[in-house]
Amino acid sequence: MLELNFSNMMGEVVGQSGIPEREIEGIKTTVYDIDKRIKAKERPELAFIDLLEQDISEIKKIASAVRGEFESFIILGIGGSALGPRAIIEALSPLHNLDKKPKVFIYDNVDPRTFDRILSLADIKKTAVNVITKSGSTAETMSSFMILWDKFNKTVPDASKRFIATTDPEKGNLRKIADEKGFKTLSIPPGVGGRYSVLSPVGLLLTEVIGINADEMLQGARDIHKRCTDPEIWRNPAYLFGVLLYIMEREEKRPINVMVPYADGLKPTAEWFCQLWAESLGKLGMGLTPYPSLGTTDQHSQLQLWMEGPEDKVVIFIKVDDYTVDAEIPKVFQDMDGLNYLGGHTLSELIKAEQESTELALAKIKRPNMTISIPKIDAYHMGQLFHFFEMATAFTGFLYGVNPFNQPGVEEGKNFTYGMMGRKGYEAKRQEVEKAREKKMCWRV
């Protein structure tokens, strides 16, 4: 089971930069109230919790067909539709494409260079495509879908058998196309938003495609769910996570949350968390800025700033208890001071020592931090990690009094793009762009 060690967040340990126990006590009534609202499913988007009980037999069937028939598997999706899948494959099958089948390409941008490379690497005749968009009209995803659909139709006789649409069960253009053309389809339940969808078919199809049992991921999520709905804050890691970071921002003026897993494979999980945390909480002029990082690597990149830069950060470590593989450092160069101490230890001893050292170095100068321990990086514990963070994020949104499920701030940018691309009804936006271009003062060098 995941564990949250928050000693270094507390006043007893880090003094004035820490949180006094009574402050957490003082927030208990609010927490009881939010807990009730979550359990009452006050908002339809809390449907992400129902994912834990979903039937995944159709996912397994489709995945098994993909595994049997195709050499490459392209995912088209962006934001929540790509970050979850990427977190899963990098955690559970690192460097997958170098010796595993099917190769997996997650195309989550409209970068022409990447698109060109993927097309030169994936043989269309042996490729399946999973198009993921809840709304069914995401510009980035649907553009690349349109190109691939056309290309497949010109190359293989049974194009429609190679497309799997993961989208709304009823609404949207992709659903309509999928039904008309006879694609295989998987549904994202109506309430579930993109960034809360990793444990829906969005993430689970890929899990099964790379040969991992998605049941285990859901089992992990179910097992931690009980702890994440305990109304007693001192026993609930998700609520506590939110309360601690909330107080750190509101009272201690620390709005930046650095997320540092000590495992290469969890770097995309930190990025997945960053979307969840940023997009859910960043509104009404408030919000926490999550920062994706990686240990030990970023000790040689960001640590200087965490230690001696402005006092505006909380560092959150993710510590792995068992890496399941290891390598011993041999006792070579024993005559060399500055090297000889390494011999006889293992890589996992070193990485763990570095994680603890960094924690301690921060605490020693009263810079708050906390540590999430994950027993090992497998499907079961990834399920725990995902669900824990989703519960924590929804809870923290309620704590801030914002809607943790919308993202109104991204609309204006989309409108300008529609205008520039000539979408009907957006003529005024196009004019606005043109006007802005005209009057744009060119400060340029």
Our CB check for a second copy shows the closer of 190 and 353 to be 353
- On the CB side of 65, CA atoms within 13 Å amount to 13
Distance CA 277, CA 404 (A): 9
CB contact set of 375 (below 8 Å; sequence gap of 6+): 1, 2, 321, 322, 381
Q: Catalytic residue among 300, 424, 439, 440, which?
A: 300
Q: Which is nearer to a second copy, 184 or 429 (CB)?
A: 429
- The DSSP secondary structure of 138-157, one letter per residue, reads -HHHHHHHHHHHHHHHHH-T
- The minimum distance between CB 142 and a second copy, in angstroms, equals 6
Q: Write b or e for each residue in 38-76: b if 16 or more Cβ atoms lie within 10 A of its Cβ, otherwise e.
A: beeeebebbbbbebbebebeebbebbeebbeebebbbbb
Minimum Å gap between C-beta 191 and a second copy is 19
Nearer to a second copy, 59 or 89 (CB): 89
Which among 208, 249, 279, 390 is annotated as catalytic? Answer: 279
Closest approach of a second copy to the CB of residue 31, in Å = 13
Tell me whether residue 32 or residue 64 sits nearer to a second copy (CB atom): 32
225 classed as catalytic: no
Nearer to a second copy, 59 or 107 (CB): 107
161 is catalytic: no
Q: Return the exposure string of 233-263: e unless at least 16 CB atoms fall within 10 Å of the residue's CB, then b.
A: beebbbbbbbbbbbbbbeebebbbbbbbbbb
Handedness of CA 421, 426, 432, 434 (dihedral sign): positive
CB 260 → a second copy: shortest distance, Å?
Answer: 12
Residue 59 CB, nearest approach to a second copy (Å): 23
Spot the catalytic one: 23, 352, 414, 432.
414
Tell me if residue 100 is catalytic: no
Q: Which residue, 273, 231, 253, is CA-closest to 382?
A: 273
Question: Cα–Cα distance between 391 and 229 in angstroms, integer?
Answer: 8
**Tokens 């208990």 belong to residue:** 28
Contact predicate 275/292, CB 8 Å: no
Residues in the chain, how many?
445
DSSP conformational letter for 262: S
| Pick 295 or 383: Cβ nearer a second copy | 295
Min separation Cβ 303 and a second copy, Å: 5
Distance CA 141, CA 164 (A): 13
Question: Which residues are designated catalytic?
Answer: 279, 300, 414
